[in-house]
Structure 1
């Protein structure tokens, strides 16, 4: 992982995706953001917005996340989002909107470190899209979750191993070790 050319990408940490299955990710992501920003590296947040007539409505009959408070970043991370390098709004699974493509290209980031919700959909799709664009995708497995439960989270990680490589799935401890090596000093504990 090249921390000096990396951005932390916080996927869809929104009220509408946090429940009893995914709530444990909020403090994990918060801690990761604190350690990441302590060494001066950029953070990007994404926010998903559903809309009337979307594929999610047509094919899943899923009408949620169309307005606040469901679409709001969870309160515990709202301050971090307000100070993020960028918040990318999206209407699909992936980070890679035209705005995000341009941002990443202009910034020269080579490594994208993903955390957030949901492991099997938006995190996975964003990581695979990063892989297919020749970026180094990293999924921080213990800072991801899904509102659909632990079995679905685990299934997402199985698919991620197949699509981006087992070595691209890391833990928070691994990332903290990389941050420490990058900064030359211990990061926040």
Structure 2
């Protein structure tokens, strides 16, 4: 852990969220995680866990992501998980009481968000970081929606309105020192 260094938040890259519409970011995120870790950067992997009676079940009639293999992180990220931190959550955002305590403990104040789904969990994490007076970045080309391109674009549009147009970036915009050793 490097004080003051940003954390990469890999949002809900779980088997249950991978669909044809989101699968294209698997190699992108795996490469980003590999490069981030090679520079000694901190990584937070989030995992959403659904439960009986959840708002997702009550309002969407959605009962997935309750057990393995749906809740498991995708195999492409498993080589990196032991060198990061994994946070389980039952809401969209990593800003749970446990998450906030972890952020304070680690001294994380700048967050780079990627993963699934742009218009919900990725967006909500970035907005919550903004509202907690942290610096949020949403990596557009390392995020996707299992609901398709239209939902992804909608998430980016809303993110620009919520956290600022310059806070939505592409991989090429990430400072070199965060992705290149030395």
TM over 0.5: yes
Aligned to 2:62: 62
Judge conservation of contact 1:28–1:143 (CA < 8 Å) in 2.
yes
Structure 1 residue 111 displacement after superposition: 0.4
User: Residues 178 and 169 (structure 1 numbering): CA distance in 2 closer, same or farther, change over 3 Å?
Assistant: farther
Ranges in structure 1 where 5+ consecutive residues have no aligned partner: none
What secondary structure, in the 3-state scheme, does the structure 2 residue paired with 1:141 have? strand
Q: CA deviation at 1:176?
A: 5.1
Work out the CA distance in 2 between the residues paired with 1:102 and 1:151: 35
Superposed CA RMSD: 1.5
> How is 1:132-143 mapped onto 2 (pairs within 5 angstroms)?
132-143=131-142
CA-to-aligned-CA distance 1:92-143 (integer Å, 9 cap, x gap): 1001111110111121121000010000000000000000000000011100
Instruction: Tell me which residue corresponds to 1:48.
Output: 48
Partner of 2:176: 177
TM-superposition CA deviations, 1:27-74 (whole Å, max 9, x none): 111111111111101001000010011110001100111111001001
Alignment length, in residue pairs? 180
> Structure 2 stretches of 5 or more lacking a match?
none
Q: Is the Cα contact below 8 Å between 2:41 and 2:178 reproduced in 1?
A: no
- TM-score of the pair, normalised by structure 2: 0.94
Paired residue for 1:32?
A: 32
Q: Which runs of 4+ in 1 moved over 3 A?
A: none
Do the aligned partners of 2:10 and 2:115 also contact (CA within 8 Å) in 1?
yes
Q: TM-score, normalised by structure 1?
A: 0.91
